[in-house]
Chains A and B, each alone.
Chain A
Amino acid sequence: MLTILFDGIAYGMVLFVLACGLAVTLGLMNFVNLAHGAFAMAGGYVTAVLMNRYGVPFLATLPLAFIVPAIMGLVLERSLYRQLYARSHLDQVLFSIGLVFMAVAAVDYAMGSQQQLIQLPSWLQGRVEVLGIQVGLYRSFIIAICGVLVVALQLILSRTRFGIRLRAAVDDPRVARGLGINVSMIFAATFAVGSGLAGLGGALGAEILGLDPTFPLKFMIYFLIVVTVGGTTSITGPFLASLILGIADVAGKYYVPSLGAFVIYTLMIVVLILRPQGLFARAR
């Protein structure tokens, strides 16, 4: 029972780590960025290439898995994304799907279509017993990182000057600009952070989810579910949503395996019917 709960939390956190970058771009900037997975994949490949070809230790690759996609995000934001902020969600969906296709083919061309695998350091492998339940080390590691991320993001958003400006810029760009806030720069920075978080998520998730060129398409549905169910106005929303989804999914698959595949989709539909803005959203 407790093991199932732990597994559920851990799975939820894997979902969150993947989705939190999207929670930033979609949630805070209201940009439906389906290419989120492409940035996640970029992070994953950075880690895989550094580890497998150059023997860089796992932890040391993580900052790079953040920085490289962040820079890519920044460049793309300045050159392309920027022009689409004012456009409809549909335009954004199409644009970012186009990017995904390009990313999939490009990675396939550069890296081959097979799975990329990484070797965790030994101190992250295996499991230990805590309070009578078996706890996987790597999963605990992910849970810890998620905790840090949530707290940090929440603090930045609510306590720092940057966070206040960002919220102002999102809520009403025109007024924000009038108040002397450099909206365009704030958006660029936020987008870069979102892409970086995506990359970090990809690097952390690769071990559990696998990594191949179709990654952005395969997992697009999952992180979209997390963000829409959680509501797009905060970081805590998607965080709690991924917890709920993770636990429900794992428990569902454990107790009624024959219906296991339906749990997550059904939950999403029900939530969205009852609360179209997501579970933890304030009304816009």
Chain B
Amino acid sequence: MRRRSVLSAAGAALAILAFGGTASGQEVVKIGLILPMTGPFASTGRQIEAAAKLYMRQNGDTVAGKTIQLIVKDDTGVADITKRLAQELIVNEKVGVIAGFGLTPLALASAPLATQAKVPAVVMAAATATITEASPYIVRTSFTLPQATVPMANWASENGIKKVVTLVSDYGPGIDAEKAFTGAFSAKGGQVENLRVPLANPDFSPFLQKVADAKPDALFVFVPSGVGAQFMKQFVERGLDKSGIKLIGPGDVTDDDILNGMGDVALGAITTQHYSAAHDSPENKAFVEAFKKANNGMRPNFMAVGGYDGMHLIYEGLKKSNGAGGEALVNAMKGLSWTSPRGPVSIDPQTRDIVQNIYVRRVERVNGELYNVEFATIPNVKDPVKAAKSN
């Protein structure tokens, strides 16, 4: 094992020599950032890339005596390409860390590779709970869907909501959210009805009509973030907001990236998530300001904070491991804790998943712009799926 890392270090050194010693004799740690930069999930990639670059600009590119070099690759959101790129980065570029992973299958496809090559993989976006179990080298800085969803169920049952219809997109994360919510909410004695919407579905009217027929107290919704705006508009167009049905869900529907453009239809939606651009802390204010400045006014969303914290984790891990990679780096990352723009976070040493506050937020107008305004905090939430397993 150790020999392998020595070998790879030697390989990296050779590579530097071969390429004319761009780092002027210093050792280089390359980070392979694999993201969907084109295709339907391009905005995920853009947010993360922007955040990662911002972090490097703010914190310099030297850690523990090593130069950090970021290599961005576009996997177009297709799993086999992600895997090939990860493999190429590991084999040819000798990267010390692979990172990014916009979607669950992309992370899962690359997981065996991380194990085989003993290269830490930092998941900055994908949110299915099981990802970190796919390889002991995976560390996550985004969130898990059940982590954001179970607090929603608890909040709902504590706030007089008895009957809920869930409406989720019919694919992995959607089903994850549906299960987590249904489980937690019925455990509290609530009544739940489930609806699933095909992923490619331009019109929600038949499903919303079903919701209207069921007359629930609240509608729990999870759709991929871009579709959220469409959903909100059709929800209001059908007059469901006026018939007293609350709109609740994990924060994907009120994604900060596009929330402001949604207009008044989004007002009053209640969501639970780990990050809001309106989070009230000096760290976040600085982050949002710097991010907007560097990106033409684009507002950072939960993807961006995942990328920012991912870079922070790599930097701090390298500091702790004195620049060593591989298993030493993963071990160094375990148990790290810091104050992120989203609030206090830490890496669970057992599961390598992130432990963080989950906030209950309501969409409100602040200084003329729409924001998810946090009004309640559930501190230090671990991923409930894995927490249940370990008990």
Could you tell me which A residues sit within 8 Å of B by CB distance? 3-4, 7, 10-11, 14, 52, 104-105, 108, 112-117, 119, 125-127, 134, 136, 138-139, 207-210, 212-214, 218-219, 222, 249-254, 257-258, 260-261
Contact = CB atoms under 8 A, between A and B. Distances in A.
A220 B205 CA distance: 21
Contact of B239 (A11, A126, A138, A212): A126
Contacts of A112: 46, 296, 298
A113 B42 contact: yes
Nearest to A136: B237
Interface of B: 38-40, 42-43, 46, 170, 195-203, 205-207, 209-210, 226-227, 229-230, 233-234, 236-239, 257-258, 261-263, 296, 298
Contacts of B261: 52, 115-117
A139 B296 CA distance: 35
Shortest 4 CB-CB contacts between residues of A and residues of B: A261-B198, A117-B261, A254-B206, A253-B206
Contact of A7 (B201, B206, B229): B206
B43 A113 contact: yes
A253 B229 CA distance: 21
B323 to A, nearest CB: 35
A253 B262 CA distance: 26
**Which of A52, A114, A126, A207 has the most CB atoms of chain B within a 10 A radius of its CB?**
A114
A253 B239 contact: no
A134 B257 contact: no
A116 B209 CA distance: 26
A125 B237 contact: yes
Nearest to B257: A114
Contact of A208 (B199, B202, B210): B202
Contacts of B209: 3-4, 7, 254
A213 B237 contact: no
B234 to A, nearest CB: 7
Contact of B42 (A134, A139, A214): A214
Contact of B206 (A113, A134, A251): A251
B198 A209 contact: no
A136 B238 contact: yes
Contact of B202 (A104, A125, A136, A222): A222
**Which of B205, B230, B258 has the most CB atoms of chain A within a 10 A radius of its CB?**
B205
Contacts of A104: 38
Contacts of A258: 196
Contacts of B170: 261
Given A4-B209, A136-B238, A208-B234, A250 B203 contact: yes
Contact of A115 (B199, B206, B226, B298): B226
Nearest to A134: B239
A250 to B, nearest CB: 5
A210 B196 contact: no
Given A126-B239, A212-B226, A214-B40, A117 B262 contact: yes
Given A117-B261, A257-B210, A208 B233 contact: yes
